[in-house]
Chain A
Amino acid sequence: MPRSVLLPLLLLSILGSACSPGAPEPTPGKLTIFAAASLTEAFGEIGAAFEESHPGVSVTFNFAGSQQLRAQLEQGAQADVFASASPREMDKLAAQGFADPSKSEIFAQNRIVVVLAKGNAANITSLQGLARPGLRLVLAAEEVPAGEYARQVIDNLDKSVTSNGGTGYAQAVLANVVSSDESARQALSRVQLGEADAALVYASDAVSAPELPVLEIPAESNVIASYPAAPLATSKQRGLAEEFVAYLLTPKAQGILKNWGFAGKPQ
């Protein structure tokens, strides 16, 4: 290869490393939904069902950490609906006028579970096992909802250990964290690949990886993650966006969400 080919190659490789999903242009009948990564499978199905009941409408998704989606929307990304894994991200958007808080609906709930590597090579049999030195534990980053919930759960477990006369549970568990990933999904992938022994993820994530053993967290130590969805102020098809948010509360959509491990909308 001649030397003159090298610079374009270098540029190509830099380009390759810098690519990120851009915001698609709005077209009539095309609905763009920014949704939390944990909704990937459920929303795939709901989107298909919505398209079926709304002929001529096509739904496209951008799945990522809620925080990242919020940042993209603040930087001018064009979308019609935002479905967040945490009310906080929705509130932040609404506070800046990007979403209408009065149109926001809590459409699903989720909880945290512990997933273990296939075959449970690390031989973890209880939540106490997460504190064992040398274990490789992965969490979502503190900055994303899944990571915040996971740390809350560890905190709650620490309190119950302390009330039973134990000490240093949270410290020992957090010392085992080998990566703080961008989303619970990424943390789950590391366990699926066998790189990590365990991860704290959403119950819905665990459903998408049925081959992995799951440790449940007692309800009194768990958290309830609420998922709000709202039409976005910049949407060029508010009517359709509002219809999609309303559709999330229908028995059809609620059924799909439950199949994927979510608890439905609050009663």
Chain B
Amino acid sequence: MEAHVAHHGPPAAHASSRVNREVLGMFLFIASEVMVFGSFFAMYFFIRVVNGVPWPTPPFHLPVYVAGINTLILVTSSFTMHWSLQSIKKGNRAGMKAGLVLTVLMGLTFLLTQLMEYSRIGFAPHNGAFGSVFYSLTGLHGAHVLVGLTILTCMTIRAFRGHFSPEHHNGVEIAGIYWHFVDVMWIIVYTTVYIL
């Protein structure tokens, strides 16, 4: 009788889903983010390909090598993020904490390096379409890194407070998915804006 009462009304919304609610929420969030980035890339291609704006517009130069090192740092942070999650899955709490701390530190390094790059690059967003697009794309990505760092910092604090176990580590998993997404977007931004 109790069971009958307990199941009155509609079933739990996620009952038939193959993905848990938190991960599904992150998918939807990432899907919206892809659209945001898509609109910014549309602007980039319109300016550069359709309008034929020189890239970079003389006399400006892009710091390809510094940004390359920064790319290396961000890609490496994906490895430490992956290591962190694999560690907690195996019950290695120290590995999880170390992985999270390293990921946060590398993300922070990336962000600070980008800010330094802005201060020394020699052009501003109002210096033509090239400047606007450059700051828009890299700034949009930088904002995502900041969001990712905030999430990762929260997860790191939780990890040091004893949260997460081999069975329950959804917070790290979801933060990891987002961080890898940020990494993927940077690889695309770096290649299109700095290299090509």
A binds B: no
What is the interface of chain A, defined by CB distance below 8 A to chain B? none
What is the interface of chain B, defined by CB distance below 8 A to chain A? none
